Structure 1
Amino acid sequence: MNAESNSIKTYTPHPARVNGDAIHALAQWLKANDSRQPDLRSLMNDRYPVGLFSEDEMKALCELARN
């Protein structure tokens, strides 16, 4: 007999078969701990001329970009 056929095989699920709650929890953690999120205000200041947007417009644009 083949020695390999007598060994106990363990089942490893495919990586795509993951609990939906686990994926959601991971997404929430990544969102909360992602340090790569840019500072939107400085990004806007670097991209557009000074004075193009009022302070209120800048706040509104940053809120839109975050959501």
Structure 2
Amino acid sequence: MNPQILVEICTEKMPFGKYKGVTIADLPVSYLEWFNSKGMPAGKLGMQLSTIYEIKLNGLTELLIPIKKRVRG
């Protein structure tokens, strides 16, 4: 996995939908589960959503804390 994807997840925002404007890392699991059941979007956004879904599903959100601190100040 490319470590840059973790930085992107902590900085980029959801471009559409109910959670438009929310940082991808901060999307609720229920929303990610919905996408997982319906099919993730194609391309980069789908990869980002799939990655954060797996991180949250496996209880690994602590891995993002240092990245969030670094990129958010």
Band of TM-score, shorter chain: under 0.3
Which structure has the higher relative contact order (CA within 8 Å, separation 6+)?
A: 2
TM-score normalised to structure 2 length: 0.24
TM-score normalised to structure 1 length: 0.26
